[in-house]
A and B are shown apart, each in its own frame.
Chain A
Amino acid sequence: MSIYLTEVRKAFGPKEVLKGFSMSIEDGETAAIVGPSGIGKSVLLKHVVGLLRPDAGSVVVDGVSVPELDRKGLHRLRRRIGYVFQFAALFDSMSIAENVGMGLRRIPGWDRRRIEDRVEDCLSLVELAGMGDRYPAELSGGQRKRAGLARAIAPEPKFLLYDEPTTGLDPVTTSAIDRLILRMRDELGVTGLVVTHDMTSAFRVADRITLLHDGRARFSGTPAEVKAASDPVLKGFVEGDPDLYYRDGWRREGMHAGGQDHGA
C-alpha cells in the first residue's frame, strides 16, 4: 500500500512538464507535494490513478505498475483510490447525495439504506450535513470542494489523492479539512498524497513534503527538515519570496511565466 514514482517524464507537445520526477510514499504515510501554480502538480497526481500515462518512468501503486494496467486492472485499482479533484468535478446533473453515492453504488452488496447512511455520514464529515438534496450549481465553490472530498472518501479507499483540498477555503474550514485528512491517516490507515501550495496546510498534514520544481523533486523531507533547509528555491517558496525562488532564472528558459488554470 505504497506509491512509488520513479523518473516520471511527461510532455504535452513540446512542453516538458515532468522531467524525471521521483518520490515514494510508504504505507500509511501522508505526503505533500508543493509547488507554484502551473508547475505540474495536478499532472503528477493524475499519473497515480492512470488518468495520464507517463512518457517514460514508472508509477507503481500498491505493487502494480499503473501504466501497464488494462481497463479492468485500472478499475480494480481505482476502487481502492479516492481522488479529490482540484475543481471538485461534481456531476452537475446529480444532487450532492447522488454524487457522493456514486462510488458506493459500485460496491457489491451495498443496498440503498446502507448507501444513504454512508452518504449522510460523509456529508457530516465535511460539514455539509443536510445539503444532500442540493445540486452542485447551488453550492459555493468551497462547498463544492468539500462535496468532492466527501465523494472521494465515501467508499473508504486505501489511498487518497487530494488536489488542493483547501485552496480557496477560509482558515477555519481549512483546519477542519486538514484535521479530516489526518483522521483518514490515523483512523483508517489511509496512504495520502496532498497537492497544495498552502504551506501551512502542508506543515500540518504531511509526514513528508516534496517540492516540485522544474519537473523534478527539488527537495523532499519532513516538515522540520523543510523548515531547516537552506536551499534558496525551497526557502523562496516556503517564505513566498519570488526573488529567492526565481533566483536561478530557470523559468525564463523553459516554462512560460505565470501559472495557468485549465478553466474552473
Chain B
Amino acid sequence: MTNWLLGAFAFVGNRTVSGLQGMGRAWGLFLGATASIRNVDVWLPHLLPQMARVGVASVPIALFIATFTGIVMSLQASYTLTGAIPVYFVGTLVGKTMILELGPVLTALTLAGRVGANISAELGTMRVTEQVDALETLAYDPLAYLVVPRVFAAVFMFPIVVLLAIGIGIASGWFTALQLLDMSSPEFVKGLRLFFEPWDVWFAVIKSVSFGAVVTGVGCYFGLQTERGAEGVGRSATRTVVVASMLILCLDAFWATVLL
C-alpha cells in the first residue's frame, strides 16, 4: 500500500521535474533564438524559401478546410436560427465565427500537423544524422540557420493564410446561403455587416501571428531535442502536433480574455 503510494508520488514528482526541465530548455531555446536574430546574414537567405514552404504550400489545405467550414456554418446557422430571429443572422454568424474563431484556430490546428510535424521531422533527422553538429563545426549558429527563418516565415505567412481562409469560408457560406437556403445576397451581406468590427480582423491577425510562432517554435524545439534515430524522429513529430495543438487552444482562450 505505502509502496504504491510512494510509487505514485515518485511518478508525479518525476513528471513535474521533467516538465519543469523541459520548460527550462524551451526558455533557453527562446533566449538563444532571440539572441541569434542578430546574425541576419545567416537566416535572411532562407526566409523566402521557408515562407514558400510554410505559407504558400499550406494554402490549398487551409482553403479546403475553410470551404467546408463555411458551408457547414451556413447550414447549421439557418437550422439554429428559427422563429423570431431574422434569416440574415446567418450572415452574422458565419462572418463572426469565421473571423474570430474558426478561421484562425482551424487553420492553425491543421498547420500544426502540416508545418509543425514537418519541421520537427526535418530538424530531428538533421539532429540524429549529426547535420546539426556539422553546422556547428562549420561555425554556423544552428538557431540562426534553422530556427529563426522558420519562425519568422510562419509569423509572416500564418496571418496571410488565415485571412485567405476567412475570405473563402465566408464566400462559401454565402454561396451556400444563396443556393440552399433561399437567401438573397443583400440579406446575407446585411447580416455580415451587422456586428462587424474592423478590430475583429486585427484580432484574427494577432492570433495567427502567435499561432505561427507556437507551431514552428514547438516544431524546432522537439526537432532539435530528438534522440535515438528514426523512432526518435517519429516521437518528436507526434509530440510537436500534440503540444502545439494544446498551446494553440490555450492561447486562443488567452487572447479571448485579454483582447475582447
Contact = CB atoms under 8 A, between A and B. Distances in A.
A237 interface: no
Contacts of B131: 89-92
Contacts of B141: 71, 75
Interface in A75-93: 75-76, 78-79, 81-83, 85, 87, 89-92
Interface residues of A, number: 24
Interface stretch (B93-101, B132-140, B173-181): B132-140
A182 B140 CA distance: 28
In the complex, which of the residues B130, B138, B228, B229 has the most CB atoms of chain A within 10 Å of its own CB atom? B138
A69 B136 CA distance: 14
Top-9 shortest CB links A-B: A89-B130, A83-B137, A89-B134, A263-B229, A75-B139, A78-B139, A103-B138, A79-B139, A102-B138
In the complex, which of the residues A79, A83, A89, A90 has the most CB atoms of chain B within 10 Å of its own CB atom? A89
Contacts of A89: 129-131, 133-134
A83 B132 CA distance: 13
Contact of B138 (A87, A92, A106): A106
Contacts of B134: 83, 85, 89-91, 151
A49 B128 CA distance: 18
B43 to A, nearest CB: 14
A89 B140 CA distance: 15
A83 B130 CA distance: 12
Contact of B137 (A81, A90, A91, A262): A81
A129 interface: no
A85 B131 CA distance: 9
A263 B138 CA distance: 22
Contacts of B140: 102, 106
Interface string A212-256: 000000000000000000000000000000000000000000000
A139 interface: no
B130 A85 contact: yes
A11 interface: no
Nearest to B228: A263
Consensus secondary structure, chain A interface: loop
Interface string B36-53: 000000000000000000
B139 A51 contact: no
Interface string B98-141: 00000000000000000000000000001011110111111111
Contacts of A51: 133, 136-137
A193 to B, nearest CB: 13
In the complex, which of the residues B134, B140, B229, B230 has the most CB atoms of chain A within 10 Å of its own CB atom? B134
Contacts of B230: 263
Nearest to A107: B139
Contacts of A83: 134, 137
Nearest to A84: B137
A87 B130 contact: yes
B137 A263 contact: no
Contacts of A262: 128, 229
12 contacts: A46-B133, A49-B137, A74-B136, A78-B136, A85-B134, A87-B129, A87-B130, A91-B134, A92-B129, A103-B139, A106-B138, A151-B134
A82 B133 CA distance: 12
In the complex, which of the residues B131, B136, B139, B229 has the most CB atoms of chain A within 10 Å of its own CB atom? B139
Interface in A17-64: 46, 49, 51
A78 B141 CA distance: 11
A107 to B, nearest CB: 10
A259 B131 CA distance: 23
Given A85-B134, A92-B131, 4 more contacts: A78-B137, A83-B134, A91-B126, A106-B138
B148 to A, nearest CB: 14
Interface string A98-126: 00001100100000000000000000000
Contacts of B128: 262-263
Contacts of B228: 263
B232 to A, nearest CB: 9
A61 to B, nearest CB: 13
Contacts of B139: 75-76, 78-79, 103, 106
B138 A85 contact: no
Contacts of A91: 126, 131, 134-135
Contacts of A78: 136-139
Nearest to B138: A103
